Amino acid sequence: MPDGRVLRGRESRRVVLQRAVDLASADGLEGLSFGRLATDLGVSKSGIQTLFGTKQALQVAVIAAARAAFEEAVVRPAMDEPAGAERLRALVDGWIAYASEPLFPGGCFWAANLPVFDSRPGPVRDALVEQQREWRALLADQVSGPDADLAAFRIDAVLAAANTAFRLDDDGAADTARRAVAGLVQGVS
């Protein structure tokens, strides 16, 4: 039987992480603070600090939570499609929905944070980079031929640029982004 106190701790972590992912998608992982989260959630700062320890541990936990939500929204549904062109389309369509609806208020979590942390070696950068690598490998697995990694690099790059276009509330830029993605996917599938 699970211990009541541990369960409450897990539930608290879940609530804090959900709020922290939303904040970090818009204002960045750097902008996270125990104080800001405590104020937002109406709880004590020391309570949140006890749950996570350091700001860096919080940032790494937030990255894992963002990844889990992304997997659930984009990757898992696409796994129902046959590997190859159909799964690639499902991944890209799912990604466009994830960034444009959007799943997180600031749009793509990695597009917002990787460019900031790419110059800062450490566990936060490592976690972001590892997840980007996994995502590109998943795209490349759906493409046949020796240039699969190049195709995956380009599709991922254009998706990140599309994410910015969606944020700008500029219909022209969003339309160009959608066409740029569609053309690239058509070219490899």
Instruction: Name the site residues for its own copies (rule: CB under 8 A).
Output: 26-28, 30-31, 105-107, 111-112, 114-116, 118-121, 125, 129, 147, 149-150, 153-154, 156-158, 160-164, 167-169, 176-177, 179-180, 183-184
Cα separation, 9 vs 1, whole angstroms? 15
Structure tokens at 92: 């890209």
Closer residue to its own copies (CB): 73 or 129 = 129
Please, what is the minimum distance in Å from the beta carbon of residue 172 to its own copies? 9
Helix or strand or coil: residue 79?
coil
141 touches 149 (CB < 8 A) = no
Closest distance to its own copies from the beta carbon of 61 (Å): 21
CB nearer to its own copies: pick between 97 and 161:
161
Amino acid 150 reads: L
CB of 110 to its own copies, least distance (A): 9
- DSSP-assigned letters across all residues of 7-24: HHHHHHHHHHHHHHHHHH
CB of 32 to its own copies, least distance (A): 13
* SS3 of residue 81 by DSSP: coil
Nearer to its own copies, 26 or 73 (CB): 26
Q: Which is nearer to its own copies, 111 or 124 (CB)?
A: 111
CB 12 within 8 A of CB 50: no
